[in-house]
Chains A and B, each alone.
Chain A
Amino acid sequence: GEDVEQSLFLSVREGDSSVINCTYTDSSSTYLYWYKQEPGAGLQLLTYIFSNMDMKQDQRLTVLLNKKDKHLSLRIADTQTGDSAIYFCAEQTGRRALTFGSGTRLQVQP
């Protein structure tokens, strides 16, 4: 079955860039997503990338996709304390439900 893995924790200083990594196993994934979840809250879609793309940039966010290695990353430029949250990557194949990674807790230190 599908499997999505992430590192559990990342700590950066305010103003630095953050890079959150994700690996997945389903080579037929059509979409890959990044969600943000703040404590006690629901999911906020940050960005997504089609599987036939290798990069997508949206303001401070840059998504890189290496389909050959099944590796996805999210780079947050100029990280702010408000970016502290848990970040989930998720993959989708067709119309099926999303398969989520375990989440990466990003801690931004002032």
Chain B
Amino acid sequence: GAVVSQHPSRVICKSGTSVKIECRSLDFQATTMFWYRQFPKQSLMLMATSNEGSKATYEQGVEKDKFLINHASLTLSTLTVTSAHPEDSSFYICSGFLNEQFFGPGTRLTVL
């Protein structure tokens, strides 16, 4: 199957700093990528839909100015958590769409 990578796999940062998470489709071109968030012991919740070359579509309750998404190429989407706070600590998972969704391994963000 198609492969999606994420970098970094884990990141710890101080409150108030910004963190960038990369999502890459390694062997296919993904015109659409999705970003999900999973809090401990909870399910995955869609944050936003990222379309190559256009603005991301955010789900209700997700602040677009806080979670900046850039999908500049067909193989790379980035999620930047700006001015991170402890409540942003979560597991962030991206997926690329090619007939079906292929998920990255996830990035665990811890904000101190």
Contacts and interface: CB of A to CB of B under 8 A. Distances in A.
Interface of A: 31, 35, 40-43, 45, 48, 88, 92, 95, 97-103
The bracket for how many chain B residues form the interface is 20 to 34
> Which 10 A-B pairs rank lowest in CB-CB distance, beginning with the nearest?
A42-B105, A42-B106, A97-B46, A97-B34, A100-B43, A43-B103, A100-B44, A102-B43, A103-B43, A42-B103
A98 B93 CA distance: 12
A49 to B, nearest CB: 12
Interface in B41-92: 42-46, 49
A69 to B, nearest CB: 22
Contacts of A102: 42-43
B1 to A, nearest CB: 8
B33 to A, nearest CB: 10
Given A48-B100, A92-B101, A97-B34, A42 B43 contact: no
B43 A88 contact: yes
Query: Dominant SS at the B interface?
Result: strand
B68 to A, nearest CB: 19
Contact of B32 (A31, A95, A99): A95
A42 B93 contact: yes
A2 to B, nearest CB: 10
A5 to B, nearest CB: 10
B101 A98 contact: yes
Contacts of A92: 100-101
Given A92-B101, A97-B49, A43 B93 contact: yes
Contacts of B103: 35, 42-43, 45
A102 B34 CA distance: 19
A103 B39 CA distance: 12
Contact of A88 (B32, B34, B44, B100): B44
Contacts of B104: 42
Given A92-B101, A97-B36, 13 more contacts: A31-B100, A35-B103, A41-B105, A43-B93, A45-B103, A48-B100, A97-B101, A98-B46, A98-B95, A98-B101, A99-B46, A100-B45, A103-B43
